[in-house]
């Protein structure tokens, strides 16, 4: 039998989680998890193989980050975040692990979806000192990918481009939906804020592309 101290147990938990969840090194992980591993989590099949097979089924983007870890006797509690697992929100987890013979022998957990600043009542992040940014990133992706298609029919209904013989050819001139949204996109160099994006979308919805509209009024 191998006796390990609480400090050693904390080190072993961090090594085990990094080896399995981040590095996906299943051979090395077998040396850290007991072959008689007992699983209490409602989200994970029983045994060591149940855990390993679950990890195999998850995307390669899966990542574990630790924030706080405590140990007493044979027990360790790790407060961390699981991200990149294919669900809309990261999981904030409190993992409780019992050690036996120097290996992870038993496991319990409590999981919560990570809240954004707008969703939390405490006003503080659930993990670390920053709120998650995935909501804002998702909004930007939708703006870039969906907005041009949303105004495609408006573009087709608009009069021909005064710069060229085709409606589409006015896009590089800065009077098309794509160009206006790119100018307002916060991710574009020199771009504006989310409010600028919404304003651009409003102008497009009303068919008021400034360059195109002014040229049409002038009779060009």
Tell me what percent of the residues of the chain surpass a pLDDT of 90.
Answer: 55
pLDDT-based confidence at residue 110 (cuts at 50, 70, 90): very high
CB atoms within 10 A of CB 90: 20
pLDDT digits over 4-22, tens only?
A: 999 999 999 999 999 999 9
Beta-sheet pairing, 63-72 with 75-83: antiparallel
pLDDT digits over 118-141, tens only?
A: 898 999 999 988 898 764 545 444
- Distance, in Å, from the CA atom of 10 to the CA atom of 18, rounded to the nearest integer, reads 12
Residue ranges of domains in the chain, CATH in brackets: 6-113 (3.10.450.50), 134-215 (no CATH)
The reported pLDDT for the residue numbered 54 is 96
Q: Is 53 helix (H, G, I), strand (E, B) or coil?
A: helix
β-partners of residue 39 are 107
| Residues whose CB is less than 8 angstroms from the CB of residue 146 and which lie 6 or more positions away in sequence, other chains included | none
The reported pLDDT for the residue numbered 55 is 97
The reported pLDDT for the residue numbered 199 is 62
Cα angle, residue 196 at apex, residues 190 and 197 outer, rounded to 5°: 100
Cα angle, residue 100 at apex, residues 98 and 92 outer, rounded to 5°: 25
CA distances from 86 to 66, 94, 117, 131 (A): 19, 20, 21, 19
pLDDT digits over 92-101, tens only?
A: 999 999 999 9
Q: What is the mean pLDDT of residues 151-174?
A: 46
The reported pLDDT for the residue numbered 211 is 44
């Amino acid at each position: 039998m191998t006796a390990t101290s609480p400090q050693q147990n904390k080190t072993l938990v961090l090594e085990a989680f990094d080896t399995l969840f981040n590095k996906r090194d299943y051979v090395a992980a077998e040396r850290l998890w007991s072959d008689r591993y007992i699983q209490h989590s409602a989200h994970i099949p029983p045994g060591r193989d149940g855990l390993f097979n679950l990890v195999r089924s998850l995307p390669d983007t899966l990542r574990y980050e630790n924030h706080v870890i405590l140990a007493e006797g044979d027990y360790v509690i790790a407060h961390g975040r699981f991200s990149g697992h294919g669900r809309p929100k990261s999981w904030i987890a409190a993992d409780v692990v019992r050690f036996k013979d120097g290996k992870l022998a038993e496991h319990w957990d409590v999981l919560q979806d990570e809240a954004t600043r707008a969703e939390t009542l405490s006003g503080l992040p659930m993990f670390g000192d920053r709120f998650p940014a995935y909501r804002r990133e998702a909004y930007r992706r939708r703006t870039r990918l969906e907005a041009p298609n949303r105004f495609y029919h408006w573009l087709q209904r608009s009069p021909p481009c005064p710069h060229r013989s085709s409606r589409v050819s006015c896009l590089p001139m800065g009077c098309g939906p794509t160009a206006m949204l790119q100018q307002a996109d916060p991710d574009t160099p020199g771009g504006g804020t989310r409010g600028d994006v919404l304003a651009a979308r409003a102008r497009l919805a009303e068919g008021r592309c400034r360059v195109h509209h002014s040229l049409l009024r002038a009779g060009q």
